[in-house]
Structure 1
Amino acid sequence: MLRTVVRLTPTFIFPIFENRNEHDHDTLKPQNAETERSGIERVKKMFSRNEYEEVSPELHNVVQAAMCGAFFGACMGGFARSRDAYLYFIENNQATIFKSTMEAKKKLQDYVTVAFAKGAYRWGWRLGIFSGMFSLIATTISVYRGDTTLVEYITAGAITGGLYKANLGLAATFVGAGLGAALSTIAGLAILGLLKITGVSMDDIRKAMYRIKEAREDQFNQAVEKSAKIKNDDLTKHHDDLVAEKGEKNIEQLVE
């Protein structure tokens, strides 16, 4: 009975090592120019800009991951440090004489604010670099291989964890690499399982997030253009109407 269950439900038993069935490649990964390129060409395209000097969707997601990591690191470090500072100030200034209650509250607020800034700075840049490095390594390997599997997460976690503890010695480097690989394995299993269940790929998610970014920028540019008085005055509108009526001419046509 167990053998029958395993044979009939490969998606839930081994969702990360193989496709759902032999025909999944046609639906989830249609053949196109991207899949026909070599790994080096895909990686070069990832780190290159397009004709509008915009970064690739993969690199854009790496930057977003680093920024999100920095934000969450700053929040966690700042709140933890400010809480400790608050308790320390209350415990060590019970016998301190202040001129008024307002002065005591101001001293407390200044002390907590400075502690929050220190904690946010200390953990923000660290978690930002850690998240960015992990995302960059995993995305680069995924782009090179043309697929997203558990290998990228384990490799990225091991390398990032080892580099994070490299300044503490060789033993700490191996411990950090092992811990990073273990944690990234758990995260990779969860992510890849969700991808298999939903039927989408990581490349689809990257492109969808990039399209959201482009739509947001387009809406912002439209709002700026509508609010610009210089672009919407009568003289500019008359000029645009003439250009639309007679057509644009380049310098060579004007010289002739």
Structure 2
Amino acid sequence: MSNNVLDDMMESCKGLRRFVLRCPHHNVDRCHRVPRLSIWQTLCFPTVYAAEKATATDKMEQAVSTQSIQTVNFVSEMEIQEYMMKETGKDRLMKMFSKDHIGGWSPEVQFIKQVTTQTALITFLITSFVGGRHAREEFIRKHQATVFSTRFRAFRSLQDSIFLRSLLDGSKWTVKVSLFTVSLLGISQSIAVYRNKSSPLEYSVGLGITAALLKCNLGLKGMFAGGVFGTVMGLVGGTAIWGAMYALNETQEQRHYWKVQRTLEMEKASKGLLVSPETGEQLQPQPLS
């Protein structure tokens, strides 16, 4: 590095306090001596370390950021905890299966409906396709020696057989899977909402009861065997689901906390108890003109 470049760099740093200029060359007397640098540091540009003292601009930005956070979250932690202590498991369960003030269902019921609809659609597509293939193979096997009057009549009989078999198989399995999904999610979500806690327990109980109900045509022994198998499988699957929910911070207690916070915010907004972004004071509702 030339002396002119070093002089310009030192001249630009004279007015700055507590600044240190690290020179990439270790034998230059104009800069502070530093230990021998590596090849990578030697090829890099000089590094300038600024003082840690906050400036006035930083203080103003920090104050504005803190003020904006305080004005947005105008529901305190104490208010949320008091609201949650007053409610019971029965109250949470009643709210789950009731509509809100705008006629919408709770997030739990919407989740059950969404998952059931998607599962039913996927099941119908898969089972109807498989049923159509089986119907085609069965039709060809049964009518190898059959002589049709026209080619169109043979093709029409084949298509009718495939369509009817696809519709019947798809509808049958869609109803079964939909009932299974509604029962499993309904029981597990109800237990989680009542306890206000997510754990593998609700999935184990939900799958055990659902499996027992599906085996009711086999008698008490079949229901007992299905219930035990469903309980064990629900415990294994519920552990994986609970782990994913905990990692994503989507457990029942966290979701209910956010729901209570939104409810209290809507109540304060309806009463006009809002916080002014400029002064931090509460805004009273204005009379209608």
TM-score range, shorter chain: 0.5 to 0.7
Q: Report the counterpart of residue 136 of structure 2 in structure 1.
A: 86
Q: Report the counterpart of residue 166 of structure 2 in structure 1.
A: 116
- In structure 1, runs of 5+ residues without a counterpart are 1-29, 209-247, 250-256
Tell me, yes or no, if the aligned pair for 2:196 and 2:252 is still in contact at 8 Å.
Answer: no
Deviation at 1:105, TM superposition (A): 2.1
Q: Report the counterpart of residue 209 of structure 2 in structure 1.
A: 159
Q: Report the counterpart of residue 5 of structure 1 in structure 2.
A: none
1:128-169 CA-to-partner distances (Å, cap 9, x unmatched) read: 111001100000000001011000000001111111111220
1:164-209 CA-to-partner distances (Å, cap 9, x unmatched) read: 111220000011112212222222122122223333325778999x
1:201-243 CA-to-partner distances (Å, cap 9, x unmatched) read: 25778999xxxxxxxxxxxxxxxxxxxxxxxxxxxxxxxxxxx
Q: Which has the larger radius of gyration?
A: 2
Output the CA distance in 1 between the equivalents of 2:131 and 2:91: 46
Seen in structure 2, the aligned counterparts of structure 1 residues 103 and 178 have a Cα distance that, compared at 3 Å, is same
Output the CA distance in 2 between the equivalents of 1:145 and 1:176: 26
Q: Report which stretch shifted further, 96-105 or 119-128.
A: 96-105
Q: Report the counterpart of residue 54 of structure 1 in structure 2.
A: 104
In structure 2, give the amino acid aligned to 1:118: L
Output the CA distance in 1 between the equivalents of 2:93 and 2:129: 39
Q: Report which stretch shifted further, 182-191 or 129-138.
A: 182-191
Work out which of the residue numbers 147, 161, 177 in structure 2 matches 1:127. 177
In structure 2, give the amino acid aligned to 1:175: A
Q: Report the counterpart of residue 187 of structure 1 in structure 2.
A: 237
In structure 2, give the amino acid aligned to 1:176: G
Output the CA distance in 2 between the equivalents of 1:191 and 1:75: 26
Tell me, yes or no, if the aligned pair for 1:70 and 1:129 is still in contact at 8 Å.
Answer: no
1:50-83 CA-to-partner distances (Å, cap 9, x unmatched) read: 1112211111112223323322332333223222
Q: Report the counterpart of residue 228 of structure 1 in structure 2.
A: none
Seen in structure 2, the aligned counterparts of structure 1 residues 201 and 121 have a Cα distance that, compared at 3 Å, is same
Tell me, yes or no, if the aligned pair for 1:154 and 1:185 is still in contact at 8 Å.
Answer: yes
Q: Report the counterpart of residue 122 of structure 2 in structure 1.
A: 72
Seen in structure 2, the aligned counterparts of structure 1 residues 109 and 194 have a Cα distance that, compared at 3 Å, is same
Give me the TM-score of the superposition, normalised by structure 2.
0.56
Q: How does 1:1-256 map to 2 (within 5 A)?
A: 32=80, 35-36=84-85, 37-201=87-251
Output the CA distance in 2 between the equivalents of 1:206 and 1:118: 42
Output the CA distance in 1 between the equivalents of 2:231 and 2:208: 5
Tell me, yes or no, if the aligned pair for 2:212 and 2:227 is still in contact at 8 Å.
Answer: yes
Output the CA distance in 2 between the equivalents of 1:178 and 1:72: 28
Question: What's the C-alpha RMSD, in Å, of the aligned pairs?
Answer: 2.7
In structure 2, give the amino acid aligned to 1:143: V
Seen in structure 2, the aligned counterparts of structure 1 residues 113 and 153 have a Cα distance that, compared at 3 Å, is same
Seen in structure 2, the aligned counterparts of structure 1 residues 102 and 205 have a Cα distance that, compared at 3 Å, is farther
Deviation at 1:110, TM superposition (A): 1.0
Deviation at 1:115, TM superposition (A): 0.1
Output the CA distance in 2 between the equivalents of 1:81 and 1:137: 31
Three-state SS of the structure 2 residue aligned to 1:53 is coil
Three-state SS of the structure 2 residue aligned to 1:48 is coil
Q: Which has the higher helix share?
A: 1
Output the CA distance in 2 between the equivalents of 1:206 and 1:114: 47
Query: Whose relative contact order is higher, 1 or 2, with alpha carbons under 8 Å and at least 6 apart?
Result: 1
Identity of aligned residues (%): 27
Output the CA distance in 1 between the equivalents of 2:138 and 2:254: 49
Seen in structure 2, the aligned counterparts of structure 1 residues 78 and 106 have a Cα distance that, compared at 3 Å, is same
Give me the TM-score of the superposition, normalised by structure 1.
0.63
